[in-house]
Amino acid sequence: MAKGGVPRIESADERRGLAARVSRASLFKGSVAVVGALTGAAVGGAELAASAASGGSAATDREVLTYGLLIERLQSAFYAAALAGGQLTGEARQFAQVVGAEEQAHVKYLTAALGASAGASPRFRFGDSATDPTKFIATAISLEETGLGVYNGQAVSLTPKTLAAAARIVSVEARHAAWARALAGKDPAPVAVDVPIPVAQAKQTFQPFIVQ
């Protein structure tokens, strides 16, 4: 944990709740990261300009960390479900234990950072995506890669202090993604630069696991 404890995200509109905030969709659209591997998706000029125009703020920090918390809660629940399923063995089981514990630590950290605005966790349902050993690895790769891509995309919009805190989580997510890929027999680092993932795209990955 950070030496100074958990950074508390404060802002004037903290008590005004959701209504006072910029809609998440427009906020995230404006903060898509601007790097693309030439082998992967490049980001368009409009998004680039929007990115350059937006600046960090406590409200943005909270938006980003709130989505980060959802990702961490989902990942944490996924590994708990996988371990509860009892079908994992060997390194896959070790991976679920180690990574699951780290995602739990991230949940705790972000919950504390967000304070009252953290809200309650949604419920998740993974079915055999978590318990079938082959599906488990594939789903872990998807969740970790998507989580990392979102963090990388959103981190550019954070204030420096919150970025410093988030970066300590981001590289751990990258390690998780690399480890999951290794378990699937894939190169842990497939490209020289990690392509950010827009939140809209990430939602398609996460939504099937969230109980409405």
Residues that bind another protein (CB under 8 A): 1-2, 33-39, 42-43, 45, 48-49, 51-52, 98-99, 101-102, 105-106, 109, 148, 152, 155-156, 160-161, 163-164, 167-179, 182, 187-189, 191-196
Going by C-alpha positions, the residue among 88, 105, 108, 106 that lies closest to residue 96 is 88
For the bound state, the minimum distance from the C-beta of residue 93 to another protein, rounded and expressed in Å, comes to 14
For the bound state, the minimum distance from the C-beta of residue 162 to another protein, rounded and expressed in Å, comes to 9
For the bound state, the minimum distance from the C-beta of residue 172 to another protein, rounded and expressed in Å, comes to 6
For the bound state, the minimum distance from the C-beta of residue 80 to another protein, rounded and expressed in Å, comes to 15
Nearer to another protein, 20 or 164 (CB): 164
Which residues fall within 8 angstroms of residue 30, CB to CB, at 6 or more apart? 50, 51, 53, 54, 157
Nearer to another protein, 20 or 37 (CB): 37
Report residue 30: phi and psi, to 5°.
Answer: -80, -5
Alpha helices per DSSP H over 86-186: 90-114, 128-131, 133-155, 160-183
Query: What kind and span of H or E run contains 206?
Result: helix 199-206
Nearer to another protein, 112 or 182 (CB): 182
* Residue 79 C-alpha from the chain's centroid: 15
Nearer to another protein, 83 or 210 (CB): 83
CB atoms within 10 A of CB 126: 21
Nearer to another protein, 5 or 17 (CB): 5
